[in-house]
């Protein structure tokens, strides 16, 4: 585990060096790549751990987040081992100098890209989502905005598909196991350093879940790389070369999307998989109008996320500190 001096040295290296640093664990000695490769590397300095337990990786991610909050020009992202092997910068960065020019040539205006992806009819996706909310309000009642997080996603999908679903069926009732899990979380003691312990919790993709719960849910996963970059969080996806497969946007569009969502919702990429991005969100939408805007953007950005229905996607984003994005 790194101490304050080690963290300062790492940040100083990342902010001032023009080379890439590798280390076996975040507390291990840093080693600089051969200087002959420095000028060939297309990306900013990065430090990459060998795969470590996700709970430990999240602790290091939080450490970097705290340094960034204090003004350090640094961010971190977790990367699944299989994904790391396929990213363009994963091995021998000098062989990928062409990517710098290719990245610069890619479209990076997210608003323009959204407009081009929108339907050509008289109605926008956002308006159709709002209309769907109003139809749902006629079933649930005028308190829809307050009650939306309590609705059952399974019943929402059925209602959207046209099934005859009663009002009471739309509301989710917590099981005894879920209530016991909530009680265990409330009673969990703080860790030795005073921070909230990273414990397993229900899936982060449910309404009303905060960022801390999302991080707790990720703690039970396998082993991941920690990648520390001398960039803003939204830059990591472009820097690592994620995208440009199937219907997945190009890396520059990922950067532009998360720059927009960082400003609007405090969204930062947390975990990169082979065809997935999981993010944490500090200011999720809390009104149905703001939710409709986000749903329309994410349906354009990652259409597969709407496979269970628009309302299920909306439910997963409403007042929720975690996003799951994927491209089949």
**39-53, 81-95, 123-137, 169-183: which has the highest mean pLDDT?**
123-137
Q: How far is CA 39 from CA 17, 35, 36, 254, in A?
A: 12, 8, 7, 26
List for the chain the helix, strand, coil content (%; round to 5). 50, 10, 40
| Torsion angles phi and psi, residue 213, rounded to 5 | -65, -35
C-alpha–C-alpha distance, residues 287 and 81, integer Å: 37
DSSP β-ladder status, 267-272 and 75-79: parallel
**CB burial class (10 A; 0-12, 13-18, 19+) of residue 292?**
buried
Strand partners, 76: 228
Please give the average per-residue pLDDT across 91-106, as a whole number: 54
Please give the average per-residue pLDDT across 115-130, as a whole number: 73
The per-residue pLDDT for 324 is 93
Please give the average per-residue pLDDT across 85-94, as a whole number: 59
Q: Is-contact 324 305, C-beta < 8 A? A: yes
Q: How far is CA 188 from CA 24, 59, 67, 207, in A?
A: 32, 17, 27, 22
Please give the average per-residue pLDDT across 203-218, as a whole number: 82
Model confidence pTM above 0.85: no
29-33, 52-56, 111-115: which range is least confident on average?
Answer: 29-33
Length of the chain: 328
Structure tokens given for 205 = 């993709």
Strand partners, 127: none
3-17, 50-64, 196-210: which range is least confident on average?
Answer: 3-17
The per-residue pLDDT for 224 is 92
- If we measure between CA atoms, which residue out of 159, 152, 165, 147 comes closest to residue 288? 147
For 32, residues 6+ apart whose C-beta sits below 8 A from its C-beta are 17, 19, 20, 21
Compute the half-sphere exposure of residue 109: CA atoms within 13 Å on the CB side of its CA: 6
Higher pLDDT, 245 or 326: 326
C-alpha–C-alpha distance, residues 205 and 134, integer Å: 23
pLDDT at 79 over 50: yes
The per-residue pLDDT for 17 is 46
Please give the average per-residue pLDDT across 177-185, as a whole number: 50
pLDDT at 158 over 70: yes
C-alpha–C-alpha distance, residues 10 and 75, integer Å: 12
C-alpha–C-alpha distance, residues 290 and 273, integer Å: 28
């Amino acid at each position: 585990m790194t101490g304050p001096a080690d963290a300062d040295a790492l940040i100083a290296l990342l902010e001032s060096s023009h080379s890439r640093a590798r280390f076996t664990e975040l507390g291990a000695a840093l080693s600089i790549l051969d200087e002959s490769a420095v000028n060939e590397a297309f990306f900013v300095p990065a430090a990459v751990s060998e795969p470590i337990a996700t709970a430990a990786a999240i602790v290091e991610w939080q450490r970097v987040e705290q340094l960034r909050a204090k003004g350090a020009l640094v961010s971190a992202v977790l990367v699944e081992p299989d994904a790391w092997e396929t990213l363009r910068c994963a091995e021998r960065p000098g062989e990928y100098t062409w990517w710098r020019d290719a990245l610069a040539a890619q479209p990076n205006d997210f608003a323009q890209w959204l407009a081009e992806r929108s339907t050509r009819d008289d109605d926008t996706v956002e308006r159709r989502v709002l209309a769907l909310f109003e139809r749902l309000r006629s079933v649930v009642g005028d308190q829809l905005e307050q009650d939306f997080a309590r609705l059952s996603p399974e019943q929402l999908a059925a209602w959207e598909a046209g099934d005859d679903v009663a009002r009471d069926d739309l509301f989710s009732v917590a099981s005894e196991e879920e209530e016991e899990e909530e009680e265990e979380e409330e009673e969990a003691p703080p860790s030795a350093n005073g921070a909230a312990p990273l414990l397993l919790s229900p899936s982060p993709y449910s309404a009303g879940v905060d960022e801390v719960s999302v991080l707790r849910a990720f703690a039970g996963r396998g082993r991941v790389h920690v990648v520390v970059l001398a960039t803003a969080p939204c830059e990591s996806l472009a820097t690592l070369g994620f995208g440009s497969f199937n219907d997945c946007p190009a890396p520059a569009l990922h950067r532009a999307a998360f720059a927009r969502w960082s400003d609007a919702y405090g969204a930062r990429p947390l975990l990169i998989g082979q065809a997935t991005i999981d993010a944490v969100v500090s200011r999720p939408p809390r009104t149905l109008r703001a939710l409709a805007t986000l749903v329309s953007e994410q349906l354009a950005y990652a259409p597969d996320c709407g496979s269970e229905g628009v309302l299920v996607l909306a439910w997963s984003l409403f007042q929720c500190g975690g996003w799951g994005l994927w491209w089949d």
